[in-house]
Amino acid sequence: MSYETRPDAAVSKAAEILGRRAMSRGELVEKLLNYGFSEDEASRAADRMEELSAVDDFEYARTCAGYYIARGMGKRRIREELRRRKIPPEIIDGVLDDLPGPDGSIEEYIRRKLKDPSDKAEKRRVVNALLRRGFDYEDINRVIRRFISEDYY
């Protein structure tokens, strides 16, 4: 393949990849590199996809964050997932700042899982599960204390 047509091939491949599923610029560049394109070709193709609005890291991050919120994940876990999807840190920070507070998600989980608030082992299991979902200990503890004191169960 000649040098003149190679960049067009990278753009075509980028469009094909993005036709399958949305992804971040970083993921797109990585995929193009895996297909054998040079760093420069992959970067130029990603630039072109951004110009065409086929790649928008902020919107992609917002969509992913919404999906993870719906699955009951906390901000820490969402940050990890967005980082794994190669979204730049400044975009991640902006998206996470716009998310609602965690209390509602934590409370919903506690209502479903904590049957006996006086059972320390059960409470520990619920707290550990929420920590694994990416919620902060301080938020979990605050909601559990409020949950128990208001006799929600």
pLDDT tens digits along 17-37: 999 999 999 999 999 999 999
For 104-113, the pLDDT digits (tens) are 889 888 988 9
- Structure tokens belonging to residue 72: 């009951």
Q: State whether the Cα torsion 52-57-63-64 is positive or negative.
A: positive
For 111, the domain range is: 103-149
How far apart, in Å, are the Cα atoms of 134 and each of 71, 78, 102, 122, 140? Answer: 12, 7, 10, 19, 10
What are 118-126's contacts with CB under 8 Å, separation 24+?
Answer: none
Residue 91 located in a structural domain: yes
Q: Look at the chain and report how many structural domains it folds into.
A: 3
Ranges in the chain, pLDDT < 70: 1-7, 151-153
Q: What is the pLDDT of residue 1?
A: 43
Has residue 2 been placed in a domain? no
By the 8 A CB rule, do 109 and 152 touch?
A: no
pTM of the model: 0.76
What's the rounded Cα separation, in Å, for the pair 70 and 64? Answer: 10
116 within some domain: yes
pLDDT, position 101: 81
Contacts of residue 74, defined as CB under 8 A and 6 or more positions apart, other chains included, come to 102, 105, 106, 130, 133, 134, 135, 136, 139
Confidence (pLDDT) at 151: 59
Do 92 and 63 share a structural domain?
Answer: yes
Residue 103's pLDDT is: 81
